[in-house]
Amino acid sequence: MNTANRNTIWAGIFVDELKKLGLDSVCIAPGSRSTPLAVAFAESGIRIYTHSDERSASYFALGLARASRKPVALVCTSGTAAANFFPAIIEANYSEVPLLVLTADRPAEMRESGANQTIDQLKLFGDHVRWFVDVPAPEANFSKHLLRYLQTLAARAMETSQSPLAGAVHLNFQFRKPLEPIDVPADRPAWMDEALLSALATAPAQLTFSRPKLFPTQEQTDFLVKKISSSPRGLIVCGPRCPAGDLPAQLTKLASKLGYPILADALSGLRFGNHVNENFLGGYDTFLPSDLRPQVVLRFGDVPTSNALCDYLDSLDDVPQIHISDVQRWRDDRFRVMHSMWCDPLSLCETLLNESDLQPNPQDPNWLPAWKGLEDKVWNEVTALRTEPAFEGGILSDVLEQLPAGNGLFVANSLPVRHLDQFAQPSQKPIRIFANRGASGIDGTLSSALGAAAHLPGLVFVTGDTSFYHDMNGLLAISRCGIRATIIVINNDGGGIFQRLPISKFEPPFTELFTAPHGLTFEHAAKLYGIDYVCIERKSLSSALEKSLASEKSTVIEIPSDAVKFEALRKNLSQRVKMNL
């Protein structure tokens, strides 16, 4: 630990405690007021990712935390630097990603004084963070009580970012000059000697936490057994961000036992993996609504990506919809859930599987085959459409077929994530899927994908041109942070998603105000950052992707597309499938 002055000691104690608690990554945007924190991280051995742009830094941290499922720290100087973190913190809030946001600040006496680069940073991020602390400026010769305060603060921040609901924690550190490790002997606490420093370095963390597991009660189990036993036609809906671990395998066993289809969102964590069997459906966006009406719906995860599925669930008047989650957060924007069950989903599945008398009575042998018949029709039509050059929706299917098992795929808003959800068939190949679908903005998706690629080298990012343009600053992370990724840019010259809206029939103002064509291609952006680039037709994606995945360098693969032609093909697909039902 650097003991030059009160600031280096203060920051060093805090950062060392974070390392003991398992923090292994930090994203730092250079600045002056944050010098003590930057120096402490540099001396800690924690992996540092440096970013010149605070917004890119925050989204990179978000992607890294999402992929690693561990908190990542963010450091910036005072003033508007911290404000650039805000969009990523909003996303972290709604997508429940753990971040430690460490902003530097002027000391209290400089606030509201006209001091340069000084803004009101108190509770800057409002209710979008799980906890805010205005950390006082360190004193000379501070007490052991304050030593324990810092250690406890680090532990509480780490824990609060993860439990009971993951998200960002904001700690605002006040520092007076000198900010650099200039020697000020009078600053050192009287109790701090070499023996104590050695003991601090080897001691375990001052404070640790243990978390409860919300096992289902007998009342909850009995309630579900009763509902399922009287419902031979049941449905399981898995929205985004279902729990990982053993849940996919256990939920698959439960669905097989009950004869219930699983409608698995592409972001659920269940559509791709070796647990996938005949119960899994992914083509529902194309064939819903249908005449198939369940008697009960078991829901896991967040609100589904598919608007067609949300409309279908909304149409099920008087059908009990039961949502199972271990966090108390509402996840039903149509307000159709009739019973919210707060317990651990995995424990509930395991408990139900051990219920010997759990069986729909009587079983309906035609229920699952009816759903599978619709599903097969969708994939037959999609397979035929994939030969069409204008079928933009086939790009994600092409990528998934080529990705090696265990690889990561990050998809941007607005169209790519919808393409994935509608056109990616369930598969036993394990692929980790990521998207910023908490607040669902297009900002920062490139940086988030590169952050995820820091944990999963070789990750593929599929984005639209507008999302890519919105975050081109993030490309610097590829060389600066040693990232290897493939970036596929579907360039339909503007906001292709708006072709799905009624406003597309009103011209003007549709083109100028909504699609907002830009006329850009991205060869020069790739060249600026030293990234390989190729512009291809969709039919050449396979060979370009194969080359990129084998390369040690990152590559931008640009695919020109026509949003109007694609939307016509997509609508025609739905019409053909529904006509043949």
Q: What is the mean pLDDT of the chain?
A: 96
For residue range 170-187, list pLDDT tens digits in order.
999 999 999 999 999 999
Residue % of the chain over a pLDDT of 70: 100
The single residue listed with the structure tokens 């729990």 is: 243
Q: How many residues does the chain have?
A: 581
Query: pLDDT at position 208, please?
Result: 96
Query: Quick one: pLDDT at residue 581?
Result: 65
- Give the pLDDT score at 517: 95
Number of neighbouring beta carbons within 10 Å of residue 446? 31
Hunting for tokens 């990554």 — which residue is that?
25
Domain residues of the chain, as ranges?
6-178+190-202, 227-374, 386-579
Q: Which CATH superfamily is domain 386-579 in?
A: Thiamin diphosphate (ThDP)-binding fold, Pyr/PP domains (3.40.50.970)
With helix as H, strand as E and coil as C, how does 288-343 read? CCCCCCCCEEEEECCCCCCHHHHHHHHCCCCCCEEEEECCCCCCCCCCCCCEEEEC
The CA dihedral of 544, 546, 552, 556, to the nearest 10 degrees, is 30
The answer to whether 386 and 379 are in contact (CB under 8 A) is no
Q: Specify whether the CB–CB gap between 105 and 32 falls below 8 A.
A: no
Q: How is residue 93 written in tokens? A: 């809030």
Q: What is the pLDDT of residue 576?
A: 87
**Which CATH number describes the domain made up of 6-178+190-202?**
3.40.50.970
CA 370, distance to chain mean position in Å, is: 34
Mean pLDDT of the 134-142 span:
97
- Give pLDDT, residue 501: 92
- How far is the C-alpha of 450 from the C-alpha of 462, rounded, in Å? 12
Cβ–Cβ < 8 Å for 425, 283: yes
Q: Retrieve residue 315's tokens.
A: 């149409």
579 has pLDDT over 90: no
pLDDT at 168 over 90: yes
Going by the DSSP 8-state scheme, the letter that residue 216 receives in this structure is: P
Contact 438, 95 (CB under 8 A): yes
Domain 227-374: homologous superfamily in CATH: TPP-binding domain (3.40.50.1220)
Same fold, 227-374 and 386-579: yes
Three-state secondary structure along 476-529?
Answer: HHHHHCCCCEEEEEEECCCCHHHHHCHHHHCCCCHHHHHHCCCCCCCHHHHHHC
- Both tokens assigned to 166: 């993951």
Average pLDDT over residues 141-165: 97
Please write the tens of the pLDDT for every residue from 241-291: 999 999 999 999 999 999 999 999 999 999 999 999 999 999 999 999 778
| Three-state SS at 67 | helix
Q: What is the mean pLDDT of residues 151-155?
A: 98
- Positive/negative CA dihedral, 267, 270, 274, 277: negative
pLDDT of residue 363: 80
The mean pLDDT of 160-166, rounded to a whole number, is 95
- H-helix segments, 30-107: 35-44, 54-68, 80-83, 86-95
What pTM, to 2 d.p., does this model score? 0.96
Q: Is residue 580 pLDDT above 80, yes or no? A: no
Distance from the first to the final alpha carbon of the chain: 70
Average of per-residue pLDDT across 367-386: 95
C-alpha 233/C-alpha 366 separation (Å) is 9
pLDDT band at 328 (very low <50, low <70, confident <90, very high): confident
Got the DSSP string for 163-179? SSS--EEEEEEE-PSP-
What one-character DSSP code corresponds to residue 241? S
Average pLDDT, stretch 346-368?
A: 90
The residues, any chain, with a CB within 8 Å of residue 270's CB and separated by 6 or more, are 238, 242, 247, 248, 251, 252, 262, 264, 276, 280
CA separation for the pair 389, 385 (Å, rounded): 9
CA distance 289 to 574: 11
Q: What is the pLDDT of residues 199-249, one digit of tens each?
A: 999 999 999 999 999 999 999 999 999 999 999 999 999 999 999 999 999
Q: Indicate the pairing of strand 339-342 with strand 321-325.
A: parallel
pLDDT of residue 217: 96
